[in-house]
Amino acid sequence: ELNCEQCEEGMIHCGENRCMAQSHMCDGVVDCPWGQDERNCLRLNERMGDEGRGKLELFQPELQSWRPACLAQWDPATSSAEICNLLGYTVVNSSNLTMKGSDGQFTTLN
């Protein structure tokens, strides 16, 4: 792209002619001027995400991959609505926590 900032390997464009370490993405701290580094860090897995349901996944920049979201403190009364809001949804039909082998705990949202 014309006039686009080029960043070194392991770095990402952060707006306003700025580059930042890829490891700062999705770390819970806003480093970019408009918060780009903390957007799109949470998703419903691709197989069912377009239907508004699926396994909750979190992007891990150090691995450059999506991993099941581990939830240490899940409050059934509020957590589903908060997660769905972060994903851009306004209504929660149901949610449940599931255990899957050694992968730990992840949630399925509908």
Residue 101: pLDDT band (50, 70, 90) is very low
Considering the domain architecture, whether residues 22 and 34 belong to the same structural domain is answered as yes
pTM: 0.60
CA dihedral in degrees (72, 56, 110, 80; nearest 10)? Answer: 30
- The whole domain housing 67 covers 42-109
Domain co-membership, 27 together with 62: no
CATH number of domain containing 18: 4.10.400.10
Amino acid at the residue 100? K
Do 86 and 60 belong together in one domain?
Answer: yes
pLDDT on residue 1: 45
Distance separating alpha carbons of residues 71 and 22, to the nearest angstrom: 24
Count how many domains the chain has: 2
β-pairing verdict for 65-68 and 54-60 = antiparallel
Task: Show the tokens assigned to 11.
Answer: 């770095």
Q: Are residues 28 and 47 in the same domain?
A: no
Instruction: Give residue-wise pLDDT tens across range 66-78.
Output: 888 777 777 777 7
pLDDT for residue 99: 58
